[in-house]
Amino acid sequence: MKPAFSIFGVIVIACLLGCGGSMIKHSDKDAGDSLSAADSVRRSPDPVLSADYPATKSTPAIVVKTEKDLNGYWVGKFKPDTDRQPLAAGDRDVWDYANLINVSIDSITGDKVVGHSVVAGNYRPFSGTLQKEGSIYKFVVKEPGNDKYDGAFQFNIAEGDSIVRGTWKATGSIKIPSRKYELTKRVFTYNPNNKLGYRRFVDWDKKQKVTTSNAEDDNTYVDTAYYMTTQDLYKYNASADLLTQEQVANLKKPDIFILRNSIFARHGYSFKKQPLRVFFDHQPWYIPVSTDVRSLLTPLEKKNLELLVRYEKHASAYYDTFGR
Amino acid sequence: MGLSKVININRAGYLAWYGVLLYLSYLMLLITLQYIPARLGVAFLLTKEDVTGMLHYRIAFFTHVYTGMFVLLTGMLQFPAIIRRKYPKLHRWSGWVYAFLIILVTGPAGLIMGIYGNGGLISQSAFCLLAALWIFFTLKAVLAARAHQFAVHKAWMYRSYALTLSALSLRAWKWLLVLLFQPRPMDVYHVVSWLGWGGNLLIAELLIYYTFRKSLKSRVESLESKG
């Protein structure tokens, strides 16, 4: 054997031995640990909401007739008020940086307003003033300013109206320094029977090249496969039904991932991860309420979570490896 | 008659096959090492929580995992003609270890695992049949060797080792099918539980068929030339 050939051989063998580990197991950093935060980002529980759903003095009235009706969750799209171009997601979708925001008016005493906002996995208290000019309620409130994404809200609603309109300006300099919004009042109730709508979850950041062949012209194409859910997702409800091992064992990872996170979403968990946000913001029943819902999970949900986490770990570490 | 003559591959091709075999065995070793020290809640056992509470399952599982490598390696030593010719003692001793482990240790352990296999009756029946045939083929091979029927011994050993290699081929099929089709995990498991050893056994039968046909033919020819 020529020396060059044998050196080449040694290098090939070294490479094969080196990648052996990843042939049998991927590191499962995505899987998230059992009952911690939904999108596996660890955060300290926020002080107000960790014990129970917030006890705002909300009235069920959707139309503001008296000042009392201002209390409650005002929910809607928190849209950029800049000329920033929408973010291209994949080949056919865009995201306009809009997140579902919950502006909660917790108490009004005199002209003092106290409340909090929940958006994109961020729970922030605010306080400020309320002025009534004619029939219009005018709010000016501020977040504390010690968070990168803190800012000031200005919003109005007319007596007899059901829509809050306003703007928000960031305190610091961030990518999107100003936003606008139209919010409607919504009452949050936990309902385990809330179903996921027929909308696919797609993580545009996770893609891999796949080759597909076309039978008609005998050519093969390189296509992009994204990390996305399948129709299997809509077969099960992880908050209402006790899932069995047989059911979960035959699910692919994106379906397990969304089933798991749907449990948190039904409790009003606000997601930090953008792809999850886009998916759950579009569920008609969904309201971001809290950044920690662990104490609110039902025994059935905890059981399902344990099963789902186990199979999610297995799927992310072993699904496409040399193994079982 | 050597394998290489039957399937008519050259020396480089022969070495390449051994290279693949050794590499996959190395991956098997890495899989085995995941279970050292013995622990639950990793790898395959993540999907077995319903049965790992049972002592006999745990005994069967770890027995199977820890002895598997030795069966693969001692089995590998049986086939090169050079070992049989020049080191018959090595052939005999490694053969005894191979047969002992399959018939009395890891074969029965595999059978117990098959009973509790994932994927319901489809894969459970596949794995139980695999374990039963594995023990049976190996036993037949031992009996034939004891009776000095070496051609028969060889045929049964082809079958036995074909099933031993299902440890590698099952996992390789799974890897390939997932790469190509991205199927649901349990769907692919059903397929490979049969394909993993069925394919190997088919190849073994073809090898035996052609080996025996040719060796019979040559024996007849030599008899004719003498007559």
pLDDT category of residue B14 using cuts at 50, 70 and 90: confident
Judge whether A309 and A246 are in contact, CB under 8 Å.
no
Provide, as residue numbers in chain A, all residues whose Cβ is less than 8 Å from the Cβ of B45. Answer: none
Contact assignment for A324 to B189 by CB distance below 8 Å: yes
C-beta atoms of A324 and B44 within 8 A: yes
Domain boundaries defined on chain B: 3-226
Instruction: Say if A225 is an interface residue toward chain B (CB within 8 Å).
Output: yes
Work out how many domains chain A is built from and give that number.
2
Q: Cα separation of A186 and A169, whole Å?
A: 24
Closest chain B residue by Cα to residue A316: B43
- Choose among B165, B167, B161, B115: nearest CA to B140: B161
Token pair in block for residue A206: 């996770």
Smallest CA–CA distance from A211 into chain B, residue? B180
State the pLDDT at residue B216: 63
Least confident of A230-239, B107-116, B208-217: B208-217
Nearest to B50 among A20, A245, A250 (CB): A245
Query: What gap in Å lies between CA A97 and CA A179, rounded to an integer?
Result: 10
Task: For residue A125, give the CATH number of its domain.
Answer: 2.40.128.120
Q: Which residues, in sequence order, are bridge partners of residue A136?
A: A133, A158
Instruction: Residue A299: name the closest of A219, A212, A224, A238 by CA.
Output: A238
Q: How far is the C-alpha of B156 from the C-alpha of B2, rounded, in Å?
A: 16
Distances A217 to A213, A214, A220, A221, A225 between C-alpha atoms, Å: 9, 6, 9, 11, 21
Average pLDDT rounded to a whole number, residues B55-83: 95
Q: Which of A138, A155, A186 is the last residue of a domain?
A: A186
Structural domain contains residue A61:
no
In a domain, A16, yes or no: no
- What is the model's pLDDT at position A22? 86
Amino acid in position B174: K
Tell me whether residues A321 and B175 touch, CB distance under 8 A: yes
Residue A42 counted as domain residue? no
Chain B residues with CB-CB distance to A310 below 8 A: 46-47, 49
Helices (H), B101-184: 107-115, 120-146, 150-164, 166-181
Q: Which two tokens stand for residue A12?
A: 């090939």
Nearest CA to CA, how far is A229 from chain B (Å)? Answer: 12
Q: What 3-state class would DSSP assign to B48? A: coil
- pLDDT on residue A71: 94
Q: In angstroms, what CA-CA distances link A40 with A30, A268, A271, A291, A292?
A: 8, 16, 10, 12, 11
A104 plus A151 within the same structural domain: yes
Residue A29: the pLDDT is 56
Q: Nearest CB to B31: which of A249, A252, A323?
A: A323
Tell me, yes or no, if A321 comes closer than 8 A to chain B by beta carbon. yes
Q: What is the mean pLDDT of residues B168-182?
A: 95
Q: Are residues A206 and A174 in the same domain?
A: no
Contact A324 B50 (CB under 8 A): no
- Any B CB within 8 A of A226 CB: no
Q: What is the pLDDT of residue A60?
A: 79
Q: In terms of CA atoms, which chain A residue is nearest residue B31?
A: A24
How many Å apart are CA A308 and CA A41, to the nearest integer? 17
Q: What band does B48 get if pLDDT is binned at 50, 70 and 90?
A: very high
- Distances in whole angstroms, Cα of residue A127 to Cα of each of A119, A144, A221, B68: 17, 8, 57, 67
Is A24 a member of any domain? no
Residues of B in CB contact (< 8 Å) with A are 23-24, 26-27, 30-31, 34, 43-44, 46-47, 49-50, 118-120, 170-172, 174-175, 178-179, 182, 184-187, 189
**Which regions in chain A score pLDDT beneath 50?**
1, 30-53, 55
- How far is residue B146's CA from residue A263's CA, in Å, rounded to a whole number? 64
Q: Is residue A296 situated within a structural domain?
A: yes
* Nearest chain B Cα distance for residue A232, angstroms: 10
Give the nearest chain B residue to A252 (CA atoms): B184
Compute the distance between CA of residue A276 and CA of residue A200 in angstroms, rounded to an integer: 11
Structure confidence at residue A49 (pLDDT): 43
The reported pLDDT for the residue numbered A32 is 42
Q: How far is B141 from chain A (nearest CA, A)?
A: 29
Q: Which tokens go with B203? A: 């190849």
Residues A207 and A113 in one domain: no
Q: How far is A168 from chain B (nearest CA, A)?
A: 45
Predicted confidence at residue A52, as pLDDT, reads: 44
Position A292 in a domain: yes
- A8 shares contact with chain B (CB less than 8 Å): no
Determine the pLDDT at residue B194. 98
Q: Are residues A138 and A163 in the same domain?
A: yes
Provide the residue range defining the domain that includes A308.
202-318
A26 and B CB contact within 8 Å:
no
Q: Does A245 reside within a domain?
A: yes
Quick one: A170 and A230 in the same domain?
Answer: no
If you ran DSSP here, which 8-state letter would residue A105 be given? E
Mean of per-residue pLDDT scores for chain B: 92
- CATH code, A233: 1.20.58.1690
Residues 240-299 of A with CB under 8 A from B: 245-246, 249-252
Q: In angstroms, what separates the C-alpha of A61 from chain B's closest C-alpha?
A: 47
Measure the CA–CA gap between A241 and A263, rounded to whole angstroms: 11
Among A residues 103-162, those touching chain B with beta carbons less than 8 Å apart? none
Pick from A142, A160, A186: which residue ends a domain?
A186
Probe site for chain A from B44, B174, B191 (most A CB atoms < 10 A): B174
Asked whether the beta carbons of residue A24 and residue B27 sit closer than 8 angstroms, the reply is yes
Distances (CA, A) of B81 to A59, A174, B97, B147: 88, 73, 19, 20
Least CB-CB distance to B31: which of A17, A24, A319? A24
Q: Are B71 and B162 in contact (CB under 8 A)?
A: no
Residue B108 is encoded by which pair of tokens?
């029965």
Pairs of CB atoms within 8 A across A/B: 75
Q: Does A179 lie in the same domain as A141?
A: yes
The angle, 0 to 180 degrees and rounded to 10, between the axes of the packed helices B166-181 and B185-226 is: 130
Last residue of a domain, one of A156, A186, A216: A186
Instruction: Please give the pLDDT value at position B214.
Output: 73
Residues A86 and A182 in one domain: yes
Least confident interval from A203-207, A214-218, B163-167, B210-214:
A214-218
Q: Is the same domain home to A137 and A79? A: yes
